[in-house]
Amino acid sequence: MASQWLKQAGSAVLLFVALTSAALAHTDPGTMSGGFMSGFTHPLFGLDHVVAMVAVGLWGAFLGRPAIWVLPVVFPMVMAFGGALGVMGVPLPGVETGIAVSALVLGLMVTLAIRPPLWVAALLVGAFAIFHGHAHGTELPNAANPLLFSAGFVTATGMLHLAGIAFGELSRWSWGAVAVRSGGALIALSGLGFLTGWLVA
């Protein structure tokens, strides 16, 4: 009885939240909406970030449980560490190269259906997350509202992971498995493009 009430109350809350919309009339970076949107769009304006983030979710879904939640959890946490390095001015050589390589390697993992042990996958994703975090972290001191900027780009990153997971779930079907591996190939090719310079991030 109580759990039924809880479910109904929860559904009402979710419906209420879903019916509201954000008031984004003002885009002053110093305001709540402005700072958050600045950070939210930051990863989205870099194609190299986008493909790598989607690849993390895609690979996690491809590997199945528990990787499907481990990889999207490990990534932002380690990204925060990389971001902290960027914020503190600790130099990290080859940040852009590292980001391009992340797209190439993660794309290849999916295309070639490579299923390493969970700790290896987490280590690989974590290593790449440092580069992504460092790139975002160097922008943080310039943000008018760093916390909102940080929350914005972490949210965007997570949503790209979720998009990758959603796409990866298609592998349940035989046609979906082909689509997922093709997606991985596209991501790997994009990574190669960023590395060689024929694709601009």
Partner 1 sequence: MANFFLQGLQHPWQFPAHVMVLIGLGLLLGQQSKPQRRSGWWVFVLAILIGLGLTQLPVSVWNGNRVLLALAGVSGCLLALRLELPVWFCAVMAGVGGCLIGLDSAPVMIPGMKALKLYSVLAGTAFGASLSLGLLILLAALLRSVLDGLILRILGSWVAASALMVLALLFAPH
- Separation CA 118–CA 128 (nearest Å): 16
Give, as ranges, the residues between 157 and 176 that touch partner 1 (CB under 8 A).
Answer: 158, 161-162
Location of structure tokens 């109350």: 9
What's the rounded Cα separation, in Å, for the pair 187 and 193?
A: 10
The reply on whether position 72 binds partner 1 by CB under 8 A is yes
Q: How far apart are CA 13 and CA 6, in angstroms?
A: 10
Distance CA 102, CA 120 (A): 14
Identify residues 83-102 at the interface with partner 1 (CB under 8 A): 83-84, 87-89
Q: Does 42 bind partner 1 (CB under 8 A)?
A: no
Instruction: Find out whether 198 and 55 touch, Cβ atoms under 8 Å.
Output: no
Q: Which of 13, 112, 120, 178 binds partner 1 (CB under 8 A)?
A: 13
Residue that has been written with the tokens 């690989």 in this structure = 124
Among 32, 112, 120, 178, which residue sits at the site for partner 1 (rule: CB under 8 A)? Answer: 32
DSSP type of residue 145: S
Binding mask 97-136 for partner 1 (x = CB under 8 A): ------------------------------------x--x
d(CA 85, CA 69): 25
* Residue choice 68, 114, 163, 201 for contact with partner 1 (CB under 8 A): 68
CA distance 143 to 31: 11
Nearer to partner 1 by Cβ, of 134 and 181: the residue is 134
Q: Contact with partner 1 (CB under 8 A): which of 33, 38, 102, 145?
A: 145
- Residue 138 is encoded by which pair of tokens? 């160097």
Q: Which is nearer to partner 1, 102 or 145 (CB)?
A: 145
Angle 154-109-62 (CA atoms, 0-180°, nearest 5)? 70
Q: How far is the CB of 24 from partner 1 (least distance, A)?
A: 16
Binding site for partner 1 (CB under 8 A): 6-7, 9-10, 13-14, 32, 35, 65, 68-69, 72-77, 79-81, 83-84, 87-89, 133, 136-137, 140-141, 145-148, 150-151, 154-155, 158, 161-162
